[in-house]
Amino acid sequence: MESLDLHKISVRELNQYLHKELPKKKDAKKLEILNPDGMHSIAAGMDCPVDIDIQGHGGYYVGGMNKHANITVHGNVGWGVAENMMSGSVRVKGFASESAGASGHGGTLIIEEDASLRCGISMKGIDIVVGGNVGNFSCFMAQAGRLVVCGDAGDGLGDSLYEAVIYVRGKIKSLGADAREEKMTDADYAAVKELLGRAGFKHDPKEFKRVASAKSLYNWNADANQEY
C-alpha cells in the first residue's frame, strides 16, 4: 500500500498526484494519507477507483466532488465533507461538521458519529447514513436521495424538502416547512435495511420513521399570504 505524508508534501501536491499520476498506475488500488492534521480539501476531486485511508482528522471539503473512489477518514472532518459527490463512497469514523454531503449527486456518505447543521443540504441523489444525531435544518431543500439518521434530528428537519426521503430512528425536535411524517412501507423497511447494511450498522429498520415532502410548496399559491 502506497503512503503519502502531508508533513512532506502539500495538499496541492497531493491532489495533483491523485488527479494526474495515480490514474496512470494500473495496479494502484489502495493508498493511505498520513498526517492530515485537519488540512482542507484532502482527496478532493477524485476520479478513479481507489481506496484511500486518511489517517487522522480532515478539515473542510474532504472528498469533495468524489467520483469512483472509496475514502475513509480515521477521525473527524470539518465543513462540507463529500460536498457535490458523484459516486463512490466517503466514510467518516468520527464526527462531521456542517453541510456534510451538500449537493451530493450520488454515492454513499457514512458518518459513524454525529453530523452538525444542514447535513444533506440540497442533496441531489446521494445516500447519507449517520450513526448518531444530525443538527438543525438537515436536508434543507433536499431534492433527491436518502438520509438515514440512527440518532436524533434537530429543528427544521427537511425544510423545503422535495423528493428526498429521510429516515429517523430517534426523536425529531421539529419538522421544517412542507416536511411531514409518513407511514413506513415494505419498500421503506427494505431501503433502510440495505442502507444500514452498507454502513455496517445493525439497527432494526422497524425502529425508523419516514419523513417526506407534503408537496404543498411545489406550486406558487398567491392566496397563501407567504404562510405555508
One DSSP character per residue, 185-200 reads -HHHHHHHHHHHHHHT
**In sequence order, which ranges of the chain are alpha helices (DSSP H)?**
11-16, 186-199
185 within a domain of the structure (yes/no) = yes
pLDDT along the chain (228 residues), means of 10: 96 97 86 98 96 98 98 98 98 98 98 98 98 98 98 98 97 97 98 98 98 86 65
225 within a domain of the structure (yes/no) = no
Domain count, the chain: 1
117 within a domain of the structure (yes/no) = yes
Q: Over the stretch 152-181, which tens digit does the pLDDT of each residue have?
A: 999 999 999 999 999 999 999 999 999 999
195/210 Cα distance (integer angstroms): 14
90/63 Cα distance (integer angstroms): 7
Q: Angle CA(41)–CA(47)–CA(53) in degrees, nearest 5?
A: 55
218 within a domain of the structure (yes/no) = no
Q: Over the stretch 20-44, which tens digit does the pLDDT of each residue have?
A: 999 988 777 899 999 999 999 999 9
Cα four-point dihedral sign 218, 221, 226, 228:
negative
219 within a domain of the structure (yes/no) = no
223 within a domain of the structure (yes/no) = no
224 within a domain of the structure (yes/no) = no
Range of the domain at 168: 2-213
pLDDT value of residue 128: 98
CATH of the domain at 174: 2.160.20.60
220 within a domain of the structure (yes/no) = no
> What one-letter code names the amino acid at 44?
A
